[in-house]
Amino acid sequence: MNTSNARWLDELWVNAQQLKQQHLDVLVDATSLDYPLLQQLAEQPDAAKLAKLFENTPEVAIADFGPLLLRVDIGQRDWLKTFINGVDCNKHVVVVFSPWQFEALADHLRGFLQAQWNQGRSEGVLRYYDPRMLLPVTETLTPVQSNAFHAAVISWHWLDRDQQAQSLPGNYVRHAQIPAAGPVMFDHPQVANLLAWTEADAYRVDRCAVPQNYGLSRNESLIRHLYRSQLAANQKGLKEPEEREPFIEQWLVENSSFVIDEPPKALI
């Protein structure tokens, strides 16, 4: 069942009260965010706490347009409801339940923004703060990386591509030693796995693909189906577009209930 932004937020406040927390930590992906969030926060004398997670990172120049962490107290509930109702939560918002002090939580999350591979010769941003990428990122981490990443978090919450509420347990343990944060080192299979998700979404946009074209009913099922087609191409060692694209097309024909080949229509 689809969940409205407002209903989802109400349920999160109930969960917070059950955890005896008087706040919500809201992770906002400000990339292409069509909302005057920073302006509102600057104008409010009792605004939510704010941390720009790209500060003190190589991406500091675009800190206003990257991941923003807010700690919203229950007294700011009405403001948060207005914000949540004004944005596409399934593209921009992840809610975190954490008992950590705000500054410590911000530093922890900041420490997992940088990914390195090729023995440290290559690096990039780990976009776990995009609700569409949180699950792919966590599925890619090794157990040791996952335990460290989740150490500050009781649970993560977001709305998926089908506007359904989703959650993921963290790994918070009271009095546990705080793991050292730093660049996340990926091996080649991990990088290939994350690229497969990115390429799957690019395929969806380029082909204007919708679930019904492949005998599916949900957008989440579609993106995972397209992701598997990319993995299959990887397993065949296909890198060049002239080999990879026909293989993926054929894989989708053979592994879908049916395929409707229609002229592309612009995705909304």
> What span, in angstroms and rounded, lies between the C-alpha atoms of 183 and 147?
15
Mean pLDDT of the chain: 94
Residue at a domain's end among 185, 206, 226: 185
- Of the chain, the percentage scoring pLDDT greater than 90 comes to 89
> What span, in angstroms and rounded, lies between the C-alpha atoms of 153 and 170?
5
Q: Is the domain of 26 the same as that of 108?
A: yes
Mean pLDDT in residue range 229-258: 95
Residue at a domain's end among 133, 158, 185: 185
- Whether residue 261 lies inside any domain: the answer is no
Q: Is 180 exposed, middle or buried (0-12, 13-18, 19+ CB in 10 A)?
A: exposed
Distance of alpha carbon 94 from its chain centroid, rounded?
7
Q: How many domains does one find in the chain? A: 2
> What span, in angstroms and rounded, lies between the C-alpha atoms of 6 and 85?
6
Q: Is the domain of 31 the same as that of 127?
A: yes
> What span, in angstroms and rounded, lies between the C-alpha atoms of 137 and 163?
20
Q: Is the domain of 91 the same as that of 193?
A: no
Q: Is the domain of 72 the same as that of 166?
A: yes
Are β-strands 155-159 and 122-125 bridged in parallel, bridged antiparallel, or unpaired? Answer: unpaired
Mean pLDDT in residue range 13-25: 97
Q: Is the domain of 177 the same as that of 209?
A: no
Q: What is the pLDDT of residue 163?
A: 97
What pTM does this model have?
0.92
Q: Is the domain of 165 the same as that of 76?
A: yes
Q: What is the pLDDT of residues 101-146, one digit of tens each?
A: 999 999 999 999 999 999 889 999 999 999 999 999 999 999 999 9
Q: Which domain holds residue 127?
A: 5-185
Mean pLDDT in residue range 224-249: 96
Q: How confident is the model at residue 265 (pLDDT cuts 50, 70, 90)?
A: low
- pLDDT over 80 (residue 255): yes
> What span, in angstroms and rounded, lies between the C-alpha atoms of 58 and 70?
21
Angle made by CA atoms 70, 160, 80, in degrees to the nearest 5: 30
> What span, in angstroms and rounded, lies between the C-alpha atoms of 224 and 21?
34
Q: Is the domain of 215 the same as that of 123?
A: no
- pLDDT over 60 (residue 23): yes
Residue at a domain's end among 185, 213, 228: 185
- pLDDT over 80 (residue 222): yes
Q: Is the domain of 93 the same as that of 133?
A: yes
